[in-house]
Amino acid sequence: MLARTVILLIIVSQLGCAPAKNAPVKPLAFTSFPVLEYHLIGRPEGRWQRTPENFRADLEWLQANNYYPLNLRDILDGFGAVPAGKRPVVLTFDDSSAGQFRYLPDGKLDPESAVGMLKAFHDRYPADWPLRGTFFVLMETSSPDRNLFGQPESVAKKLRQLTEWGMELGCHTYSHDRLDRVSPAAAKRSLDRSLAVLAKFSGRPIVSLSLPLGKFPTDRTVIERFKLVAEVAGGMNPVNYDPLQVKRIQAMDSEWQRFFKRAAK
């Protein structure tokens, strides 16, 4: 009886010590973190478009408020990369439009594309702002501007560079397919085709998925291969977030005010 009680006590005490899923190893100075969501970068400002001026102002504001950028996949490591005194932010970009990553006719990186601005900002603050960002790319849609950043001659170069420069490639299906409206077999095929393209250019496994329109497939086993699934809205994530339902915040003025208490311009 005594032996059984001791064994029971050991089991209970071990259960009590087991870390919760995704629990950070050391105490964190923050309790939540934002995952920002960008679509088009260009003019004018709109529901789905951020101007270059506003994008630069977003980076300035985040840096001034002690945010530190991570790729989405980096949050799987329990925020260990975030320096003391900083708090994490993830910048994500959906739909791979040219405004996110463009080369000019002379071969130079467009300084008003998101990647151009991220690089310039990193050059200004190399220690405080590493080159991070997660790009959820599309391969083939009816809008050529959104197919792998819209410049067919530069596809391989861009996808390789994003990886080499420290950023992350993520899956957004092959053709922006609504996973709730296609059969599980068709959903799987769309993801397979997307991953085949991304795997060719990324030296790393693809672990992140952004759901088109935030719609889950009817058969969730289809997306089991991903470690992180990003939704389209939801606000801040707690540090013990659900990796298969990562909430995001659209980077638009009303959302900055609502979730960051950032003053209106």
The contact set with Zn ion (CB under 5 A) reads 94-95
For residues 67 and 226, which CB has a smaller minimum distance to Zn ion in the complex?
226
Name every residue whose Cβ is closer than 8 Å to that of residue 89 and which is 6 or more positions away in sequence.
33, 34, 35, 36, 62, 67, 68, 69, 70
CA 184/CA 188 separation, integer angstroms: 6
Min CB(62)–Zn ion separation in Å = 23
Least Å from the CB of residue 261 to Zn ion: 28
- Of 82 and 139, which CB lies nearer to Zn ion in the complex structure? 139
Tokens of 52: 């270059």
Min CB(215)–Zn ion separation in Å: 11
Q: Which is nearer to Zn ion, 73 or 172 (CB)?
A: 172
- Shortest Å, Cβ 110 to Zn ion: 21
Q: Are strands 32-33 and 237-238 parallel, antiparallel or unpaired?
A: antiparallel
Which of these, 25, 137, 27, 4, lies nearest to 84 by C-alpha position? 27
Handedness of CA 45, 99, 225, 237 (dihedral sign): negative
Q: What DSSP designation does 72 have?
A: G
- Write down the least CB distance from residue 139 to Zn ion, Å: 13
Which residue is closest to Zn ion by CB?
94
Residue 74 or 94 with smaller CB distance to Zn ion? 94
Least Cβ distance, residue 142 to Zn ion (angstroms): 13
Q: How far is CA 27 from CA 6, 11, 14, 240, in A?
A: 31, 25, 20, 12
Measured from the CB atom, the residue of 212 and 243 that comes closer to Zn ion is 212
Closest CA to 210 of 34, 38, 24: 38
